[in-house]
Chains A and B, each alone.
Chain A
Amino acid sequence: DAGVIQSPRHEVTEMGQEVTLRCKPISGHDYLFWYRQTMMRGLELLIYFNNNVPIDDSGMPEDRFSAKMPNASFSTLKIQPSEPRDSAVYFCASSLASRWTGSAREQYFGPGTRLTVT
């Protein structure tokens, strides 16, 4: 079975440019998550969706970041304009719905997009 698919795997761009990261979750999963990982801050949740609807975007750093999920098999994370401090590895993950309220199922991660903004 295909896991979570992300593209591109590497992105190098100049400050001020728009960056779009893409994710295809595991088929049948109800939840999709976007994370950012840096050495300093570790893995941070940016936003997550349930059945294509954004549930919590409180982790999105600022208005330069936006995420969409137009259908169950595709999501994008856009940064416009990009800045050097956005350099990080961006992971997408997906999971099934939990069996009961207040709990969470395990998440499966894509290989990540390594973003470098110069």
Chain B
Amino acid sequence: RKEVEQDPGPFNVPEGATVAFNCTYSNSASQSFFWYRQDCRKEPKLLMSVYSSGNEDGRFTAQLNRASQYISLLIRDSKLSDSATYLCVVNSPPHSNSGYALNFGKGTSLLVTP
């Protein structure tokens, strides 16, 4: 079982729509959660961290459900510029006392159309 699983999509939505992405993770000891955005042929860039109480950044809302090991990202009022691949990222406390390894999901592709 992969450590981080996402629906690959693609999600095709019209401008102005609301779209939600989901992600599950397998390591119950994980403590750090992020959403990254990756544009075609570019590097991944941090979109937002995900906090236990849920957090919002403009049109983007992230939620974490530790009991279900589930993370979500909601994008409201989609823009054409939101078209990208969204990567769910979870840290993986390993064998050592360091939790710095990050596990990246394979990403969910979003295409926002006019």
Interface residues of A (CB under 8 A from B): 31, 33, 42-43, 45, 48, 50, 55-56, 91, 95, 98, 101-112
Contacts and interface: CB of A to CB of B under 8 A. Distances in A.
Dominant secondary structure at the B interface = loop
A104 B102 contact: yes
A61 to B, nearest CB: 16
Most chain B beta-carbon neighbours within 10 Å: one of A43, A56, A95, A112: A43
Contacts of B49: 106
Nearest to B104: A43
A101 B43 contact: no
Contacts, number: 64
A93 to B, nearest CB: 8
A62 B46 CA distance: 30
A50 B102 contact: no
A79 B36 CA distance: 28
Contacts of A56: 94, 96, 98, 101
Contacts of A91: 43-44
Contacts of A112: 43
B70 to A, nearest CB: 19
Contacts of B98: 50, 55-56, 101
Interface in B76-99: 87, 91, 93-94, 96-99
